Amino acid sequence: MKNKFLVTLALPLAIALLPVTSYSETSGFETNGNVTVTPSDKTDPLDPENPLEPVDPGEGPSTDGELRIDFVSTINFADAKITKNNRVYPSLAQLFHSDTPARASYIQITDLRKDSPGWNLQLKQEVQFKTKDNIELSGARLSFDKGWANSGGLGKSPTMFRDAISIDEIGSSYQVASAATGAGNGTWLLSFGASSDNKLGQDNTLTELKDEKGKSMIDPLFNKNMYSNSAISLSVPEKTSIIPGRYQTELTWILQATP
C-alpha cells in the first residue's frame, strides 16, 4: 500500500478597501498566520534570490518532518481606494528585519527524505473575501504569476506548475509546483515575482510605494520602505458593489508527498 501524507498551512489574508476620498500612509494588514500543524525543528528562512544567505522575516508559519514547509510569506495588501474601474490591487512585497532588500512573496520547502520520491504543492482559497458582517466581494479573484524556483544546492529543480494561477473556484485546490522522483530534494524557494536585484533574469515585479506627496511609505512592523508586488494581485469586477471595509479570506497551502 502506497504511503501518502499531507502538510497543510492555513493563513489569513486581508485587504482594506477605502472610499476614494480617504487616504492612509501605512497599510492595514495582519502579520501573523495561523498554523494547523505544530511547528518543530526547521530550516531557517533563506533569501529567495540568494538562497545561501539567511534572512529574518520575523515570525512565520512552518511545519515539521523530513518533508516540510520552512516558511511561507503572509500575503498582505496595502489600503486600497475604491474606484469604478481598474480594480486590480497588487500585494505587498516581503520585507525583512535583516538588511535584505524587499523580495517577492515566497514559500520555502525542504525535502530530506531518502531517494527523494517527490512532492506536490497546492493552494486553496477557503472562502471568498468578506467582512466580519459577511459582506462579500463578489467575483473577486486572486492571481499568482511569475513563479520560479531557486536553491543554493545542486539538486534537480521542482517545476512550477503554471506561469499564472487565477483562483476562480473557491474551495478548489490549484497545483503550484511539482517535484518528480529525484527532484526537489534539499531546500527550495518558490517565488512569485522578483526584485530588480535578482541575478537569474527574472522580471522585476516590485515597485516602491509612495504617498500622494511622493513620500516613501514606511511599513510599521519592519520600519522599512514598502513595495508592491504585481505578481500577486486581487481583481474585483466593475459590476461588484464595494462597501468600504476590511475584507478577509483564508488560503491553505498543501504539501503532498508522492510515493
Is-contact 68 113, C-beta < 8 A?
no
Longest Cα separation, the chain? 64
| DSSP calls for 190-249 | EEES--TT-SS-PPP-EEE-B-TTSPBPEETTTTEE-EEEEEEEEE--TTS---SEEEEE
Whether pLDDT at 26 is above 70: no
| Per-residue pLDDT tens digits for 209-251 | 999 899 999 999 999 999 999 999 999 999 998 888 889 999 9
- Write down the pLDDT at residue 212: 87
Whether pLDDT at 98 is above 90: no
Report the chain's mean pLDDT, rounded to a whole number. 84
Is-contact 153 43, C-beta < 8 A?
no
Whether pLDDT at 12 is above 90: no
Residue with grid cell 468600504, as numbered in its chain: 244
- Residue 27: pLDDT band (50, 70, 90) is very low
Is-contact 15 242, C-beta < 8 A?
no
Asked whether the CA dihedral 235, 240, 241, 247 is positive or negative, the reply is negative
| Per-residue pLDDT tens digits for 166-209 | 999 999 999 999 999 999 999 999 999 999 999 999 999 999 99
Asked whether the CA dihedral 147, 53, 98, 66 is positive or negative, the reply is positive
184: alpha, beta or left? (left if phi > 0; alpha if psi -120 to 50): left
